[in-house]
Amino acid sequence: MSLGHIPWVERLRTPARPPQPWTSASWAAMGERELPVGRRRGGRGIILDLDDTLYPRERFVSSGFAAVAEFLATAHQVDAQRAFGLLTRAHAGPQHGQEFQWLCDRTGLSRELVPVMLDVFRRHLPAIQLNSGVADALRALRSEGWRLGILTNGLPSVQFRKVAALGLASLVDDIVYAEEHAVGGKPSAAAFRAILRALDLAPEQCLCVGDDVVRDIRGARALGMRTVRLVRPGARLAACDEADMVIHSLRELPGAAGLVHSMTGEHVA
């Protein structure tokens, strides 16, 4: 990734995430029984994971490291290419999870800069793009009458910037940030109920598509949804955890969705 294409100052000039109509506190205060899961007559929907399903999360990490490297070059005269290389090496090695601390130790910077670097990492507008064929698949599904929603874990402010960078708002019907509805987000039932309400559909009218067996597949199945797993290299799972269908690319989803949906006994529109 070319560091010259990610000036950290420009990538921090992103719009603040707008206030959301519901937070975990407001849902709890009102009570779930007053906000029943909908059931749009004849409707059908697909709930999609974000990270490592619609785009590779490692690209976000690399983009964030580049933003931090540019910040250090501008504010602390650290060579940007060297900083980026150190962060990347640490991420792939035993320093994973302590990348910024290790960078400080290797460059003579104070560890007091770690929170600042973390803030730059989180606030930058990432240089990421959807996997090949994803946009076309989402458009095809909507043209066939599917309601599409994204349910994503992670800090809502960070996930919002990913959604903006990927241009997803125009491709789906709704986006729910799971940690606004449950501590830790998926696989909590509260997070899945939130996206079901947003789509105005019942669990048996929806499919859940994701790469994570625990957060996506188990979480959705616990509410009675059919599931589609996107194969992730190296993933291991027990046979009892396997989804109703497995695909290797989102390009396959338009064809697979109707087949999986027919398993629910609903009439496919």
Write down the pLDDT at residue 218. 95
| C-alpha angle 127-130-134 in degrees, rounded to nearest 5 | 170
Distances (CA, A) of 30 to 64, 174, 214: 38, 21, 29
Provide the residue ranges of all domains of the chain, joining segments of one domain with +.
38-55+129-262, 57-123
pLDDT at 262 (0 to 100) = 81
CB atoms inside a 10 Å sphere around CB 93: 10
Q: Extract the tokens encoding 158.
A: 């960070």
**Quick one: pLDDT at residue 10?**
42
CA separation for the pair 100, 103 (Å, rounded)? 5
Among 98, 100, 103, 124, smallest CA distance to 114 is for 100
Question: Residue 106's CB: how many other CB atoms inside 10 A?
Answer: 15
What's the pTM?
0.84
For residue 34, the model assigns a pLDDT of 40
Q: What whole-number distance in Å separates Cα of residue 244 and Cα of residue 260?
A: 7
- Give pLDDT, residue 233: 79
Instruction: Report how far residue 253's alpha carbon sits from residue 260's, in angstroms, rounded to the nearest whole number.
Output: 10
Cα-trace Rg, the chain: 20
Rounded CA separation 228/206 (Å) = 11
In this structure, which topology does domain 38-55+129-262 adopt according to CATH? Rossmann fold (3.40.50)
Tokens, residue 128: 């990421």
Task: Pinpoint the alpha helices (H) of the chain.
Answer: 8-12, 24-30, 57-76, 80-92, 99-107, 114-123, 134-143, 156-166, 189-199, 219-221, 253-262
Tell me the C-alpha to C-alpha distance, in Å, between residue 207 and each of 142, 214, 259: 14, 15, 11
pLDDT for res 36: 54
Q: How far apart are CA 78 and CA 116, in angstroms?
A: 15
Q: How much is the pLDDT for 237? A: 75
Burial category of 250 from C-beta neighbours within 10 Å (exposed 0-12, middle 13-18, buried 19 and up): buried
Per-residue pLDDT of the chain (269 residues; tens, 9 = 90+): 445 444 434 444 444 454 343 333 443 443 444 445 556 666 999 999 999 999 999 999 999 999 999 999 999 999 999 999 999 999 999 999 999 999 999 999 999 999 999 999 999 999 999 999 999 999 999 999 999 999 999 999 999 999 999 999 999 999 999 999 999 999 999 999 999 999 999 999 999 999 999 999 999 999 999 999 999 877 777 777 889 999 999 999 999 998 998 876 543 33
Element (H, E) at 40: none
**What number of other Cβ atoms are within 10 A of residue 132's Cβ?**
10
